[in-house]
Amino acid sequence: MNRQRLATATAILGLLGSLTTGAWTGGPAPGRPAPPTRVTRVPAAPGSTTALSGYAIQSTAKVSDSAAAVSSPGYPATGWHPAGPRSTVLAALLADGVYADPFYSTEQRKIPKSDFQVPWWYRSDFTVADTSERTYLDFSGVISAADVYVDGKRVATTKDVTGAYTHHELDVTSLVRPGTNTVAFRIRPNDPNKSLTMGWIDWLQPPPDENMGIVRDVVVRRGGPVALRDAHVVTKLDVPSLASADLTVKARARNDSDAPVTATVSGSVGSTTFTRTVSLAAHQTKTVTFSPSDVPGLHLTSPKVWWPAGMGGQPLYDLNLTASVSGTPSDTAHETFGIRDVQAPLNSDGARQYRVNGRKLLIKGGGWSPDEFLRWDRRYVEDRLRYALDLGLNTIRLEGHLEPDEFFDLADRYGILTLPGWECCDKWEGQVNGDEPGDRWTPADYPVAKASMAAEAARLRDHPSVVSFLIGSDFAPDATIEKNYLDALRAADWNTPVVAAASDNSSPQSGSSGMKMTGPYDWIPPNYWYAKREGGATGFNSETSAGPDIPTLDTLRRMMTPAELDTLWKNPSAKQYHRSPSSTFGTLKLYDDALTGRYGAPTGLTDYVRKAQLAQYENVRAQFEAYERNATDAAKPSTGVVYWMFNSGWTSLHWQLMDRYLDQGGAYFGAKKANEPLHVQYSYDDRSVVVVDNRHTAASGLNVRATLFDPDGTQRYDKTVTGVNVHGDGAHTTALTLPSSVSGLAKTYLLRLTLTDGSGKEVGRNVYWLSTEPDTLDWAHTDWYYTPTTGYADLKGLASMAQVPVSATASTVSSAGTSTTTVTLRNTGGGRTPSLLTDVHLVDARGRPVLPVRWSDNEVSLWPGESVTLTARYRTADLHGSAPRLRVSGWNTPEHTVPAA
Q: Just list the catalytic residues.
A: 474, 543
Q: What share of the chain is helix, strand, coil (3-state, %, to 5)?
A: 20, 35, 45
Distance of alpha carbon 589 from alpha carbon 581, whole angstroms? 15
| Other residues' Cβ atoms within 10 Å of the Cβ of residue 376 | 20
Distance of alpha carbon 533 from alpha carbon 531, whole angstroms? 5
Residue 714: HSE in the Cβ half-sphere, 13 Å Cα cutoff: 11
Number of H helices, E strands in the chain: 12, 51
Strand partners, 531: none
Q: How far is CA 171 from CA 72, 137, 139, in A?
A: 18, 7, 12
Distance of alpha carbon 627 from alpha carbon 641, whole angstroms? 7
Q: How far is CA 765 from CA 373, 673, 703, in A?
A: 41, 9, 12
Peptide bond into 884 cis (omega under 30): no
Q: What is the 3-state secondary structure (H, E, C) of 394-417?
A: CEEEEECCCCCHHHHHHHHHHCCE
Instruction: Write out the DSSP string of 93-118.
Output: HHHTT-S--TTSTTGGGGS-GGGGSS
Strand partners, 228: 253
Q: How far is CA 378 from CA 51, 125, 411, in A?
A: 16, 25, 12
End-to-end CA distance of the chain: 46
* DSSP summary character for residue 664: -
Q: How far is CA 322 from CA 88, 229, 232, 277, in A?
A: 35, 11, 13, 12
Q: Which residues of 831-851 are buried (b: 16+ CB within 10 A; e: fewer)?
A: eebbbbbbbbbbbbeeebbbb
Distance of alpha carbon 209 from alpha carbon 637, whole angstroms? 44
Distance of alpha carbon 547 from alpha carbon 877, whole angstroms? 34
Q: Which residues of 782-808 are buried (b: 16+ CB within 10 A; e: fewer)?
A: bebbbbebeebbbbbbbeebeebebeb
User: Angle CA(525)–CA(526)–CA(530) in degrees, nearest 5?
Assistant: 115
Instruction: Write out the DSSP string of 767-830.
Output: EEEEESS--EE-GGG--SS---EEE----GGGGGPPP--EEEEEEEEEETTEEEEEEEEEE--S
CB-based contacts of 3, cutoff 8 Å, min separation 6? 201, 202, 424, 425, 436, 474, 582
629: closest CA among 723, 699, 696, 538? 538
Query: Residue 800 phi/psi, 5° resolution?
Result: -85, -5
Which helix (H) or strand (E) is 607 found in, with range? helix 605-629
Cα dihedral 63, 66, 71, 72, rounded to 10, equals -120
- Strands 55-59 and 776-777: what pairing? unpaired
The 3-state DSSP class for residue 628 equals helix
Query: Residue 562 phi/psi, 5° resolution?
Result: -55, -40
Distance of alpha carbon 878 from alpha carbon 850, whole angstroms? 6
Beginning with the edge strand found earlier in the chain, give each strand of the sheet holding 818-827 in spatial order: 806-815, 818-827, 867-875, 854-855
Q: How far is CA 187 from CA 137, 281, 580, in A?
A: 16, 37, 28
Query: Residue 380 phi/psi, 5° resolution?
Result: -65, -40
CB-based contacts of 562, cutoff 8 Å, min separation 6? none
